[in-house]
Amino acid sequence: MAKITFITKDQESIVVEGTAGSVMELAVQNNVKGIDGDCGGVCSCATCHVQVDPASADKLGEASEIEQDMLELDDDANEYSRLCCQLQVTEALDGVVLNVVK
């Protein structure tokens, strides 16, 4: 079980709990605005862009090459950017804070 906090563009804080699947699916299930996941979670559309709160950045591994490349589609991407369809919900993510970019 991991508790994940999404902070939307209009500063709404949404705390959700998940056990499996991707963070994108968890966000969509919980109606987190700004996370669309148009491609269904295969790193093809860049519509699930989040920026990890620097304080919880060490809970996540590195983005893959393809994920990094896809992030370049978005001019708002920075060093904390991730496509959350590529983040699997595991215990390791417990407590992570993600800022939704769109």
Partner 1 sequence: MDNNKCCVIIGGSHGGVNVAFSLRKEGWEGKIVVVDKDPNLPYQRPPLSKTYLTVKDESGYIPLKGEQAYTNEGIELLLGQEVTKVDKSTQSVELNDGTVISYDFLVLATGASPIIPPIKGIDKAKHLFVMRNIQDVKGIQAALESGVQKVAIVGGGYIGLETAASLRKLGLEVIVFEREQQLLPKVKANVLSEFLLELHQNNGVQIELQSSVSEIKNECQIQTIITSEGKAFECDMIIMGVGVYVNQTISNQLELDYNNGITVNAYCQTSAENIYAVGDCNTHYNAIYDQSIRLESVQNAVDQAKIVAKSITGTSEEYNSLPWFWSDQYDVKLQIAGLTIDADNHIIRKEDEKKWSIWFFKGDQIRSVYAINNAKAYVVGMKLIQQNAKLDKEKLVDLNEKLSPKTLLIQNEINV
* Span near partner 1 by CB under 8 A; candidates 2-10, 18-26, 53-61, 88-96: 18-26
Selected from 5, 8, 14, 21, the binder of partner 1 by CB under 8 A is 21
Instruction: Tell the smallest beta-carbon distance from residue 44 to partner 1 (Å).
Output: 4
81-83 and 13-18 beta bridge pairing: unpaired
Round to whole Å and give the CA distance between 20 and 42: 16
The DSSP-derived string for 28-39 is HHTT-TT---TT
Round to whole Å and give the CA distance between 68 and 89: 20
Instruction: Tell the smallest beta-carbon distance from residue 55 to partner 1 (Å).
Output: 28
Q: Which of residues 41-100 bind partner 1 (CB under 8 A)?
A: 41-45, 65-67, 69-70, 72-73
Pick 56 or 63: Cβ nearer partner 1: 63
| Cα dihedral 74→75→76→81 (10° resolution) | 50
Q: Which residues bind partner 1 (CB under 8 A)?
A: 20-21, 25, 28-31, 36-45, 65-67, 69-70, 72-73
